Structure 1
Amino acid sequence: MELYQLRTFVAVAHHGHLTKASEALHLSQPAVTAQIKALEEELAVPLFSRTPNGVVLTPAGQELVKDAERVLGMARDMRGKALQLKMEVLGKLTIGTILDPVLMRIGGLFKGVKERFPLLELQTCHQASGHVLNNVRKKELDCGFYLGNNPYSNVFALRLSELDFSVIAPPNWEAELDGLDLDSSDKVPWVAGGPFTGYEKIQQEFFRQHNLSPHKNIEVDHESSIIATVTAGAGISLLRHEVAVKAEADGLLKIWHPHAITAHLSFVTHVDHRDELIMRSMLEIVKNEWGIHP
C-alpha cells in the first residue's frame, strides 16, 4: 500500500467522480482507476460503487477513507517533526509575488521570517497570478500569493482579503459610454488581462455575470499597462479600485463603475508543505500581518 494510492482514494471519495479526481490530481483517468483497483485488491474489499453520476463509497469505503485520511495526516506530521529535529533551519524559501509588494506586505513577512529563521535565505519571484498558483502546485515555488479561486486539491489556500475592482475608461469617453451600462458594456472595446494573470479570471467572471461577449482590443499583463492602454483610448477595463482612484486623481482615466466586482487574495502553498516547520511558521507570520485570527 502506497501513500499515492491513499491520496487517490481520498481524492475520488471527495470528488465522487473519477474524472474530476483525475483532473485534481493531474493524472489520467486510467491511472486513477488502476490505483483504486490495486488498493481494492490489496484490501480485499470494494471501496466504491458506480452510479450514473459517478461513484459513491461502499460501507467499507466509508470506514476506510477515515483511516486513509489519518495515515496521510500522520505522514505530513512526520515530515514536519523531521524538520523540527534539525538544530538550525538552512536553505531557501521561494515566494511568488503578484501585483505590488506593498499590497503583499512583503517587508513584514521578511522581517518575521528572519526573526525566526535567521539562516534561511528568502527569494521572491514576481509572476502572473496563475503562474504562481501553477508553480506552487508543481513545487517549483514554496509559496506565494494568488488572486482568484483555487481549483486544486493539492494546493492549500489561506484567504487574506477581498479586493475591489472598478470599471475604468479613458478620461474623454463621455460620448462613447453615453447610454451604456455594465450589461451593455461589450458595445465598446475592452482591454483584457493576459493569459494566467489574475485579471484574466476576474474579467471572465465579470463577463459571465453580465452576460457579455466583448471585443478584446488588447491583452496586457500588468496594472501599469492597463492604465497606459486605457489612457491612450484603447478601451475600458477592470482595475483594482485603490489603484484606479489614484490614476483618476492623476487625470489618467475615469472610474466609470466603482466596485464592480470583488476577488479573493490568497496565500498558497502545496499541501505537502503546509505542516512543515518553516511553512507553519510562514503561515503564522502571514496571519499576523493580515490580522487573521482563528
Structure 2
Amino acid sequence: MELRQLQHFVAVAEDRHFTRAAERLMVSQSGLSASIRSLERELRAPLFVRTTRRVTLTEAGRALLVEAERILAQVRSAHEAVAAVQGVLRGTLALGTEQCIAGVHVARLLAAFRRRHPDVEIRLRQTGSGALAEEVAAGRLDLAFAYRTEPDTDQLRSVSLAGEPMTVLCHPGHRLASATAVLAPNDLAGEVFVDFHPDWGPRRTTEAAFAAAGVRRAVALEVNDVHSLLDLVEENLGIAVVPRHFRHKRPSLAALPLKGMGETEYETIALLPPERATSPAARALVALLATADPVSPPAGAQAR
C-alpha cells in the first residue's frame, strides 16, 4: 500500500466522483481508477459502489477512510515538523470553530498568526462542536475551538478557554422581561424556544441543564447562525437560552440570569489531537493563545 493510493482513495471518497477527484489531483481518470482497483485488490475488498451518477463508500471503504485520513495527517505533520526544525514553519493550518466562541477572538488570532507565520496556509471551517470533535480526531482538522461535549480521550485533548453561565434572552415586551425574581428552568416551561442545531454547544448545554432540572422543552425555531437567532428573538417569536456573552450582541433584548442549572456551565475549549500527532502549526497557534497578546483567553488557558 502506497501513500499515493491512500491520497487517491481519500480524494474519491471526498468528491464522491472519479472525474472530479482526478481533476483535483491532476491525474488521468484512468490512472486514478487503476490506483483504486490496485488498492482494492490488495485489501481484498471493494471500497466503492460505482453507479453512472455517483460513487459511495462500502462498509470497508468507510473503515479505511478513518485510518487513511489519520495516516495522511500524520505524514503531513512529519513533513511540517522537519521544516520547523529547519527554522521554517510552513504547510497548512486546518482550523475549525463554532460561531461566536467565548475566550478567543478567532479572526484576530488568525491575523496575528499570519503575521508571524506567513508561509502557513490557513483553512477555516465553521460547524457544530460534535462535528468538530470528530474531525480533529480523524485528522481532518489540526485543532478546533468548540464547546466541551465529553472528557478528553486518547484521540482528543483539550485546552480550556472560558466558562460562563447561560442567560435567557427575550423581547422587551415579553412577559419574562419584567420578571423580578431570578429565573429557573421551571419558569420557562411552555415557552416557545429559538435555538441552534442540536450539534451546537449552546444547544447541548441548554438541553443538559433542562434535562437535569426535569423540565421538558420543545425548540420551535431552529437556526444555524447567531444573528438569525437574535433576529427571531427581537421579533418576539420566541425566547433563547444562550451563553452570557451573547447579550452584548443585541443590547435591545432583555437579558435575564438563569439559575437552577446545577453544575451545568457553558465551557469553551481548544480541541487538539494527542501531543505526538499535533502539527507544528497547531502548536504555534496554541502558543500564541497562551501569550499576553490581546487574542489570548482571559485568565490563561490550561491544558486538561
| TM-score after normalising by structure 1 | 0.61
RMSD, aligned α-carbons: 3.4
CA distance in 1 between counterparts of 2:101 and 2:176 reads 37
Question: Which residue matches 2:52?
Answer: none
Distance 1:232 1:115, change over 3 A: closer
Question: Which residue matches 1:173?
Answer: 174
- Residues 109-146 of structure 1: CA deviation (Å, up to 9, x unaligned): 33443354331111222222322222112211111100
Distance 1:135 1:78, change over 3 A: closer
Q: For residue 300 of structure 2, what is the amino acid of its counterpart?
A: I
Question: Which residue matches 1:163?
Answer: 164
Question: Which residue matches 1:40?
Answer: none
CA distance in 2 between counterparts of 1:215 and 1:276 reads 42
Deviation at 1:265, TM superposition (A): 0.9
Q: For residue 191 of structure 1, what is the amino acid of its counterpart?
A: V
CA distance in 1 between counterparts of 2:210 and 2:301 reads 34
Distance 1:112 1:182, change over 3 A: same
**8 Å Cα contact 2:166-2:257 kept in structure 1:** no
Q: For residue 162 of structure 1, what is the amino acid of its counterpart?
A: G
Distance 1:269 1:175, change over 3 A: closer
Matches within 5 A, 1:110-149: 110-149=110-149
Quick check: 1:95 aligned with 2:95? yes
Gaps of 5+ in 1: 1-76
**8 Å Cα contact 1:184-1:212 kept in structure 2:** no
Deviation at 1:226, TM superposition (A): 1.8
Question: Which residue matches 2:256?
Answer: 256
| TM-score after normalising by structure 2 | 0.60
Matches within 5 A, 1:2-151: 82=82, 84-86=84-86, 88-100=88-100, 104-151=104-151
Tell me the SS of whatever aligns to 1:280: helix
My pick for the range that moved more, 147-156 or 268-277, is: 268-277
Question: Aligned residue pairs: how many?
Answer: 216
Deviation at 1:245, TM superposition (A): 4.2
CA distance in 1 between counterparts of 2:177 and 2:109 reads 45
Quick check: 1:222 aligned with 2:230? no
Distance 1:283 1:150, change over 3 A: farther
**From 284, 287, 300, the counterpart of 1:292:** 300
Deviation at 1:79, TM superposition (A): 8.8
Distance 1:218 1:162, change over 3 A: same
